[in-house]
Amino acid sequence: MRLIQGNIARWLKKEGDKVSPGEVLCEVETDKATVEMECMEEGYLAKIVRGDGEKEIKVGEVIAITVEDEADIAKFKDYEPSKSGDAPAAKGPSDSAPPKEEKVEEPPMPPEPKATKATAASAAEDRLFASPLARKLAEDHKVPLSSIKGTGPDGRIVKADIEDYLASGEKGVSKAAPKVDTAGAASLDYTDIPNSQIRKVTASRLLLSKQTIPHYYLTVDTRVDKLMELRSQLNLLQEASGGKKISINDLVIKAAALALRKVPQCNSSWTNDYIRQYNNVNINVAVQTDNGLFVPVIKDADKKGLSKISDDVKLLAQKARENSLKPEDYEGGTFTVSNLGGPFGIKQFCAIINPPQAGILAVGSAEKRVVPGSGSEQYQFASFMSATLSCDHRVIDGAIGAEWLKAFKGYIENPESMLL
C-alpha cells in the first residue's frame, strides 16, 4: 500500500545542529508505524519547516532545509515555503551552496486535474487517461472517472485510485449534505477525538475489504485439553532453560501455519487475471494498542519452532505498543490470526479479511463443557475453543475452507504432530 501522507511525530535534531549521513533527523508517523527519517548527506539543519506534531503532510512536501556550510544557516532564519509548494531560492551570494530540502521519501503526487462541469462529464471521461482495469472497475461500480484524481504516470488513473475512491465513501459527496439537527446536537455533551493516521488507514482498508471481498465464514470447535497439557510441559522446559513462556496463541499461530502448508489454496491472493499462491507462510498477528490496531508479521511461521514464534510475537507486540514498527515488521503477510479469546474472553467472532489476503482466523476463548464419557452414563469435563475462518469466496471455495479448518483442528487436538 503506497504512502499518501504522514505526520511528524518529533524532531530529534534542532535547527543549527550538525548532521551526518545515517543520523536520524525526525520520526514520521505513517499509515502503519512510526519510521525514522535519516540524513543522506553531511551538513547542518538550517530550518525546520514542519514542526513536532504537524499532521497530514503530503508526500513530497518540504519539511526541513539542510545546508553544507554553517555560515548559510542564517539565510534561512525567516524562510517560509511558498503556497504552491515550490521552494523559492534563498537570497544570498550566487556562489553559496544550494540548500537541500528534506522531503518525505516518495514521489510527489501529481496535481489534481481541473474540475469539469457535470454537463461535460462524458466528454471529459473520454479525454481522461486510465488503465483498462481501472475503467472496468469504475464502470462496474458506476464511478465517474472525472471525479478521480489519477496517481499513475502523467496523472493516469490506475486501479488503486478507484479502490481508494470506493473505500473513502466519496460516492455520496456529490449529493446534497444532510441537514444537521443543531438543536439536538447542542443538547449533547461530547468530545471530538481526532483520527490518527493509523485509524484513518485502518478504516479505509476495512471498508474496502467489506465492499469488494465476498466474505463467508466457517466455525469449528476444537478440544484443547491436550494443547494446554503440552503447553504446560513445554513451559517447564522453557523455565528450566531460561526461556520465555509459550502462549496458547503461539501454538495457534504454528497450527495455522502448518495447516496453510497442508492446504496452500488458503495461502493465496486474488487478482482479476490469476490467483497468486504464496510459497512463504507469513502470519500477521493482530495487536491492539493505544495507537490503534497493528498487524505485525511472523515470517516463515511454518518453519519456526514454538520458542522462536513466541519470541517474535512478544518482540513485535512490544514494538507495536511503542509505535516503533519498521515496514519489514508488518509487510509481506499471507494470512492473519486475530485472537480475542485469551485477552478478552470473547467466545466467538468473525474477523474482516486483511486485503490482499484471502483468509483470516478469529480465535475465541476456551471454555469447559460436559461431554459423554466412556460409559453409557458417564460424563467428563473438556475444554473447547471456537475458531472462525473468514474466507474470500473468489479464492477459497467452501470445501477448501472446510479442509483447512479440518487440518487446523487436527493440529490443535493432536498438538504433538506440530513438533514432528
Active site residues: 393, 397
Give the three-class secondary structure for 45.
strand
Give the start-end residues of each E strand in 183-312.
Answer: 215-223, 268-270, 275-277, 283-285, 287-289, 292-294, 297-298
Please choose, from the candidates 137, 150, 145, the residue with its C-alpha nearest in 3D space to the C-alpha of residue 121: 145
Q: Cis peptide before 132, with omega less than 30 degrees from 0?
A: no
Contacts of 63 (CB under 8 A, 6+ apart): 8, 26, 48, 49, 50, 57, 102, 103, 104
Q: Are 12 and 25 in contact (CB under 8 A)?
A: yes
Question: CB 129: neighbour CB atoms within 10 A?
Answer: 14
Q: Which amino acid is at 109?
A: M
The rounded distance, in Å, linking the Cα atoms of 287 and 330 is 11
Q: Supply the DSSP symbol for 84.
A: T
**Could you tell me which residues are beta bridge partners of residue 107?**
none
Cell (9 digits) for 26 = 525526525
Within 13 Å and on the Cβ side, how many CA atoms surround 303?
6
Nearest C-alpha neighbor of 144 from the set 108, 119, 176, 177: 119
First to last CA, the chain: 37
Indicate the burial class of 269 (C-beta count within 10 angstroms; 0-12, 13-18, 19 or more). Answer: middle
Angle value at C-alpha 60, between 58 and 65, nearest 5 degrees: 110
Residue among 25, 23, 21 nearest 11 (CA): 25
Strands 100-103 and 62-67: antiparallel
